[in-house]
Amino acid sequence: NAGVTQTPKFQVLKTGQSMTLQCAQDMNHEYMSWYRQDPGMGLRLIHYSVGAGITDQGEVPNGYNVSRSTTEDFPLRLLSAAPSQTSVYFCASSYSILGQGNTEAFFGQGTRLTVV
């Protein structure tokens, strides 16, 4: 089972460059999210989507854009990379709202991004 697939695994950008982190899931999940992981801060929600065509901001959305044109894909775009965006990025998906019933979030393996 592929689960949640993120590409690339590693990326180095120069300040001001743009790029897209890809995320795809094959579990037909409606809910998808992007988190960033920074030392001493756990994971923080960047953006999330509750279905195709619907996205919303999390707690640290500035500098990032998302779109959800299909159920499977949820790309994260960095518009103009800054050193503060150096982090490990995780995409996650779940079949319903977290916290309800037996809902579980499935995570990709992460993208380690360095902005120089």
Partner 1 sequence: GNSVTQMEGPVTLSEEAFLTINCTYTATGYPSLFWYVQYPGEGLQLLLKATKADDKGSNKGFEATYRKETTSFHLEKGSVQVSDSAVYFCALSDRGGATNKLIFGTGTLLAVQP
Residues of the shown chain interacting with partner 1 in the complex, contacts defined by CB under 8 A: 4, 6, 31, 33, 35, 40-45, 48, 50, 56, 58, 90, 92, 94, 97-102, 104-105, 107-110
Work out how close the CB of 81 gets to partner 1 at its nearest, in angstroms, rounded to a whole number.
Answer: 22
Cα-to-chain-centroid distance, residue 46: 7
Work out how close the CB of 39 gets to partner 1 at its nearest, in angstroms, rounded to a whole number.
Answer: 9
Q: Which tokens is 60 given?
A: 């640290």
Query: Which amino acid does the sequence have at 94?
Result: S
Work out how close the CB of 43 gets to partner 1 at its nearest, in angstroms, rounded to a whole number.
Answer: 4
Identify which of residues 18 and 62 has a Cβ nearer to partner 1 in the complex: 62
Instruction: List the beta bridge partners of residue 10.
Output: 112
Work out how close the CB of 29 gets to partner 1 at its nearest, in angstroms, rounded to a whole number.
Answer: 10
Query: Which amino acid does the sequence have at 95?
Result: Y
Alpha carbons within 13 angstroms on the beta-carbon side of residue 76 total 34
3-class SS of residue 20: strand
Identify which of residues 57 and 62 has a Cβ nearer to partner 1 in the complex: 57
Identify which of residues 28 and 99 has a Cβ nearer to partner 1 in the complex: 99
Identify which of residues 50 and 82 has a Cβ nearer to partner 1 in the complex: 50
First to last CA, the chain: 35
Q: Are strands 42-51 and 54-57 parallel, antiparallel or unpaired?
A: antiparallel
